[in-house]
Structure formats: structure tokens, C-alpha cells
Amino acid sequence: MKTVWLLLISNSFMTYAWYGHLKQPSWPLWKAILVSWGIAFFEYCFMVPANRSGYGQFTVTQLKIIQEVITLTVFTGFALLFLRETWRWTYLISFACLVAAVYFAFKR
């Protein structure tokens, strides 16, 4: 569970680093890049410990699948709440595919 929490925090930082600057279209590109890099530093501060603590408990493939599900979940929430994107019913199908990916990655 520690790994999942660390990945959740990590991906929250990364999503904001990658897409948060879209709310500041007046910023010059160099500023958006520098601010994003500064935020991304914190992503690594959580991602590296997450992978280290999770490896052995999960295979590296399982870790990546967990990370991708968290990334897409965090991103969807960010897009809907922060960027005010519109919800689409096709997102439910996308999440069903993610659930299938997790199922098959963890199936023994």
C-alpha cells in the first residue's frame, strides 16, 4: 500500500508539472519549462522510493501497470477539475480497459 500512496503523490506532482502551465498561456515557454522542471523534481522524490519499495513485492511490469492506472486516474481528475474538461462516456470504457490490464498483469 505504501507503494501505491507514493505513486499517487508522485503522479499528482507530475501531472501538475506537465499540464498545470496550460492555465498560464501568457507565460513564455522558458518559464513554463523551468517551473515544470521544479515541480517534477518532487515527482522523482516520490517515484524513486515508490519503485524501490514496490520492487520485489510486485514485478517491474506490475509496478508499471499500477503506475499507469494511477497516472491516468490522476490525469482524468486533473483534466476534469483543474482544466475544466468535459466528461465523456468513452472515459468509462477507457477505465474498463485499465481494469482489464490490471487483471491480466496480476493474473497468475
Q: What is the pLDDT of residues 35-44, one digit of tens each?
A: 999 999 999 9
Where b means 16+ CB within 10 Å and e means fewer, 11-37 reads bbbbbbbeebbeeeeeeeeeebeebbe
Query: What does the alpha-carbon distance between residue 105 and residue 108 come to, in Å, rounded to a whole number?
Result: 8
pLDDT of residue 107: 85
Query: What does the alpha-carbon distance between residue 89 and residue 45 come to, in Å, rounded to a whole number?
Result: 35
Query: What does the alpha-carbon distance between residue 11 and residue 15 come to, in Å, rounded to a whole number?
Result: 6
The one-digit pLDDT tens for each residue of the chain (108 residues) are: 899 999 999 999 999 999 999 999 999 999 999 999 999 999 999 999 999 999 999 999 999 989 989 998 999 999 999 999 999 999 889 889 988 988 888 887
